[in-house]
Homo-oligomer: A and B are copies of this chain.
Amino acid sequence: MTAQPAQSTIAVVLQVRDGRLQALVWQRAREPQSGRWALPGGTLAAGESLEQSIRRHLAAKVDVQELSHLEQLETAVDGAASAGWQVTTAYLGLVPTHLDPAIPADTRWHPLEALPPLAFDNGATIERGRDRLQAKLSYTNLGFALAPPEFTISELRAIYVAALGHAVSATNLQRVLLRRGVLETTGERREPGPSGGRPAALFRFRTRTLAITDQFAVLRPQRAGE
């Protein structure tokens, strides 16, 4: 047996900022890939789990408290990494809109439609993270991880539009999420702005942990099925 590969973790951290879905990346100052932008992460330490590892590395970039959701994406061998033999496990992390983490000088938020030159396979990894987010917005309550604690339907709609990249009807968004029991009203309302308009009711997510709300129900068990 030869030597072992280095094990590292990286994370695609996404947040809706300025009405666009953006990813947290930092600019490499040294070789390899000096000057290119990369996803935050680092090597695995003895005695820690993969999730502990990525949380520890992210702590250097964003306050870990501010991550509303974290899940594993995929693991791959870094083929032609000039840095040597490397196995990398990627995570998806989400930050809600009401937070604006303090980030180091080498780190930036970049809109997914306008990413700078990325190191390694990080571009593909970011796409996978976005795909996962978009899919789960449809059949889970994952919206809680992007939204603030309370919000109007209009605000929530803007978040969904940014994350999904296509128009979303406020009417239907409200109805789908209420019917499924994902949202509940707080009873309070937001006063209208200077230009008037009816006050908007405030809503919150009923639970802020991931739950499947739309059992892709086809071929579901029959009446008295086993």
A interface residue numbers (CB < 8 A to B): 1-7, 43-46, 48-50, 72, 74-77, 79, 85, 87, 89, 135, 137-139, 160, 164-169, 172-173, 176, 214, 216-219, 221-222, 225-226
Contacts and interface: CB of A to CB of B under 8 A. Distances in A.
A216 B139 contact: yes
Q: Which 7 A-B pairs have the closest CB atoms?
A: A167-B225, A4-B4, A166-B221, A75-B75, A166-B225, A139-B216, A138-B216
A54 B226 CA distance: 35
19 contacts: A1-B43, A4-B5, A4-B6, A5-B7, A7-B7, A44-B87, A49-B77, A50-B77, A50-B87, A138-B217, A139-B216, A164-B219, A166-B222, A166-B225, A167-B221, A167-B225, A169-B222, A173-B219, A214-B216
Number of copies: 2
Contacts of A216: 135, 138-139, 214, 216
Chain A facing B: main interface SS: loop
A43 B87 CA distance: 13
A44 B218 contact: no
Contacts of A166: 221-222, 225-226
A3 to B, nearest CB: 7
A219 B138 contact: yes
A219 B168 CA distance: 7
A112 to B, nearest CB: 14
Given A72-B74, A72-B75, A76-B50, A219 B5 contact: no
Given A4-B5, A214-B216, A226 B167 contact: yes
B7 A165 contact: no
B79 A49 contact: yes
Contact of A218 (B7, B43, B176): B176
Contacts of A48: 77
A87 B87 contact: yes
A44 B214 contact: no
A173 B166 CA distance: 33
Given A1-B43, A166-B222, A216-B216, 15 more contacts: A2-B45, A3-B4, A4-B5, A44-B77, A49-B79, A72-B75, A139-B218, A160-B219, A164-B219, A166-B221, A166-B226, A167-B222, A168-B219, A168-B222, A214-B216
